[in-house]
Amino acid sequence: MRQAHMQGARRHLKRFTTRADPSAPRAPDLLRRDFSAEAPNVKWVCDFTYCSTWSGVVYVAFVVDVFSRRIIGWKASRQMTAPLVVTALDMAAWVRRHVELAGLICHSDAGSQYTSIAHTERLAEIGAAPSIGTVATSYDNALAETANGIFKTELLRNPAALEINGGPWKGLTDLEVAICAWVEWFNERRLHAELTYSTPAEAEADYYASHPHAEVA
């Protein structure tokens, strides 16, 4: 890379977005840092991060399937509130609408958005069990944190991606367009070392090919 005058994109220090609500009931940690799954829709992890635009900060929430690393839900918003994470969860439920989700573990940090009544009730509606890590311990939700880091490194801080996706972005609308394109690339074309250099889409296709009686999401 040095000989080709290339420099890798760097991850910056994190700006903390997790703000716990001490009065809200908190679900137990059902994952206990075990970020492995034997099939799709056994474990999901959730988190959100922030992006700077010319007109202010935009928050972006993701829902990731632990088995395939596929991003199955996301939402961008100007506000760091419960609807941000509930809408991302709604997208994930819609993407997996042909699959029975009862027994699914949906893991997040202890942020007030994830302990909110709205998010807890939506999990109950789809049959998912909430799981929440401890406060101020990023390792308890390391997979979701990693997805956030990849997103910011590969889209927001990558000069080539900025040019391809129209960045830097003026505001929410054009950033949403860029995120949509990036998520499609991440799921369908990006190779993941954890998946033996397959894409999330290929990992799921291989699973369903070897389990013909499983429902395809």
pTM of the full predicted structure? 0.87
Pairing outcome for strands 56-65 and 43-53:
antiparallel
Mean of pLDDT values over 123-140: 88
Q: How far apart are CA 48 and CA 152, in angstroms?
A: 11
pLDDT of 166: 63
Bridge-partner residues for 74, per DSSP? 62
Mean pLDDT, the chain, whole residue set: 88
Nearest to 61 by CA among 131, 70, 71: 71
Mean of pLDDT values over 21-49: 91
Q: Determine the topology of domain 43-210 in CATH.
A: Nucleotidyltransferase; domain 5 (3.30.420)
Bridge-partner residues for 73, per DSSP? 63
Mean of pLDDT values over 17-36: 80
Q: Which two tokens stand for residue 37?
A: 């799954």
pLDDT of 213: 77
Least confident span in 104-108, 121-125, 127-131, 134-138:
134-138
pLDDT of 38: 96
Q: What is the DSSP letter of 145?
A: H
Question: Beta-carbon neighbour count of residue 74 at 10 Å?
Answer: 22
